[in-house]
Amino acid sequence: MNKIFPPALETERIILRPLTMDDKPEIFKWTNDPRVSKFMPYTTYKSPDDANFWLENIYTTDGQLDYGFVLKETGQLIGSGGLNYQSEDDSWALGYNLRYDMWGKGFATEISKKIIEYARTHYSGTLITGTFAIENTASKHVLEKLGMKFYKDFEYSKI
């Protein structure tokens, strides 16, 4: 299967680049943390190999802007996320994960702005949607800073 990798992007503090299998140990630092996974649709990872299926199946269509977030200052992978195209309503769904020690530093907003800017200049379907767990008020604030407005409540289950 041919992979379609998004181009690397940069913000002031972060390099956004495609993820690889070599990233599994760093990915495990946030996917194994119940403080992070409690707000995510995936269950808490028990091993770095739990990322295999995900990493094998991303970058299969042009409608996936999935990135690893690398802190320029240290070169460490601190999170992942991006936009995924939703053909049923011609929209892009925003999502992100950050290591717990990176929360509250403005990274989610900085990164999301860059990804949205890229998508709006390179793709059709410029409706951007974002979801958050009701208990995760920090993500709610990120979406508000991005100019998003509340649309509706819905439920999701763990993968």
For residue range 14-26, list pLDDT tens digits in order: 999 999 999 999 9
At 122 the pLDDT is 84
At 125 the pLDDT is 59
CA dihedral over 12, 7, 31, 41, signed as positive or negative: positive
At 159 the pLDDT is 53
Range list of β-strands (E), 18-117: 64-71, 77-86, 91-98
Alpha carbons 110 and 16: distance in angstroms, whole number: 11
Alpha carbons 144 and 138: distance in angstroms, whole number: 10
Q: Which residues of the chain have pLDDT under 70?
A: 1, 125-126, 132-134, 136-137, 148-159
**Closest residue by Cα to residue 95 from 69, 72, 121:** 69
At 120 the pLDDT is 83
Alpha carbons 75 and 78: distance in angstroms, whole number: 9
At 42 the pLDDT is 76
